[in-house]
Structure 1
């Protein structure tokens, strides 16, 4: 009787690591734990990553991992992010045209942000810290190109709109430059420009 009980515990201990290993290999998360994390307003992808990092032990473990990680990231300097739109004032654009071009710049920059994990994370932080947006005046196309080059040298994502030329300006006109990043870094590029 003692041998069979010992064998049972031995087999039990051998089976559990294999089962948890297969869960980790398949990258599956416990749907009940995931739902509990979502109810805490943790984004779905972040909740899944937290569960995977804590090996699906519990929603509580995953939540502690997520909030500790978030606290450490925010504690790094409480970085603020902003998006800046530099309008080419050399072009004769009406208010509606400027608004449309800033809209194109925002969409183009958002698409650019999807190209790198670090930029997607930056966009998430920007969105969750107030989504600050500023529109400023650029002198001309040469000025916009100079600012774009400076932003790129600082590894800041940027997008320059080239108009289709259907209204008000010639086709290919560079109308608005969009830049995004940590506020202090972006200020190194656009901080001296006047608000529109």
Structure 2
């Protein structure tokens, strides 16, 4: 004669077995959700604005400010070799003449960091790993205008550094297509050759 305890244990085992079988069936027969395709061009990102009403609008799909990394021209990043003792850094060069707010600058710098990261991930993983091991150092510098920013970009590309500039979509503070921030990553000595004379943020 079975006791109440052994009967309960048997029922529990049956429930566990049935639940496991259902889980296996669902896992093997239900296909994962596919992400919804965006109507936006590839590479655009949303800037979160630090204002209550605008942030609320963003949550409801009203993205006020889209940025795109339009700069796809670069030097041969894959050919950049790093010595065993070389330190790596990232410098974010911000245009001073645009008069961007601190929030806007932060958003644009974030886009530049991500663009540089993706570039290193696809073209020079050793550089990316060295930069990560160094603690992902980032410095910010001012440049006076777009002409200077383009000159810096050309020089960085000639040295095969990781170089990405960000162009604004023009939905908030500045004109569409304006280059706002230039991101440069590489060995410290090479990066200094490009940005060493620029004024740091105070």
TM-score bracket for this pair, using the shorter chain length: 0.5 to 0.7
Q: 1:157 aligns with which of 154, 159, 162?
A: 162
After superposition, residues 134-149 of structure 1 pair within 5 angstroms as 134-149=139-154
For 2:16, the equivalent position in structure 1 comes to none
Number of residues of Structure 1 aligned to a counterpart in Structure 2: 121
Deviations 1:69-97 (A, max 9, x none): xxxx99x5511000000001110200100
For 2:104, the equivalent position in structure 1 comes to 97
After superposition, residues 1-196 of structure 1 pair within 5 angstroms as 76=83, 78-116=85-123, 119-196=124-201
State how far apart, in whole Å, the 2-side matches of 1:165 and 1:120 are.
33
State how far apart, in whole Å, the 2-side matches of 1:156 and 1:104 are.
18
Gaps of 5+ in 2: 1-80
User: C-alpha displacement at 1:166, in angstroms?
Assistant: 1.1
Q: TM-score, normalised by structure 1?
A: 0.59
State how far apart, in whole Å, the 1-side matches of 2:198 and 2:174 are.
23
SS of 2:182's partner is strand
State how far apart, in whole Å, the 2-side matches of 1:136 and 1:109 are.
16
Gaps of 5+ in 1: 1-72
State how far apart, in whole Å, the 1-side matches of 2:121 and 2:135 are.
19
State how far apart, in whole Å, the 2-side matches of 1:178 and 1:98 are.
13
For 1:37, the equivalent position in structure 2 comes to none
State how far apart, in whole Å, the 1-side matches of 2:136 and 2:122 are.
19
State how far apart, in whole Å, the 1-side matches of 2:184 and 2:198 are.
13
Aligned Cα root-mean-square deviation (Å):
1.6
Dislocated runs of 4+, deviation >3 Å:
none
Relative to its length, the structure with more helix (as a share) is 1
User: C-alpha displacement at 1:114, in angstroms?
Assistant: 2.3
